[in-house]
Structure 1
Amino acid sequence: MTASAMFGPHALIIHYVSYVDKLIINLAVDTAVIPDPHLLCDDLVESLNIIKLAALEKGLHKMEV
């Protein structure tokens, strides 16, 4: 679990930590603004996989999502 030091109302906070070969993403969502945060997470994972595949096609780096 990660912590954030932001104050005040926010509809979406994305906090990420990259360490060695691991990326941890923590989302804080206002469900009044984003009614389906699980769909947002699924879309984020899909986007990261698309980015990973594009990087692998260019031979930039071997990584796992």
Structure 2
Amino acid sequence: MSGLDPRPVNTGLRLDKANGKLMGVCAGLANRFEVDAIWMRLLFVTGTLVGFGSFILIYLLIALLAK
């Protein structure tokens, strides 16, 4: 064993449209932070309900700015 990690390095945020439901933002964030996409989706739904819709704006900004 050479000790090299075969997993790709997370460099930046990329939308994951293949695994995404709407625009791939939550799936892309889940890939970036190495968590399941359902947790990111739950975070955004909860944040939208508790934050009076502010997470919708954050979601749209990420969708526009991410590659």
Does TM, normalized by the shorter one, top 0.5?
no
More helix by share: 2
Higher RCO structure (Cα 8 Å, ≥6 apart): 2
Question: In proportion to residue count, which structure has more strand?
Answer: 1
The normalised TM-score by structure 2 is 0.34
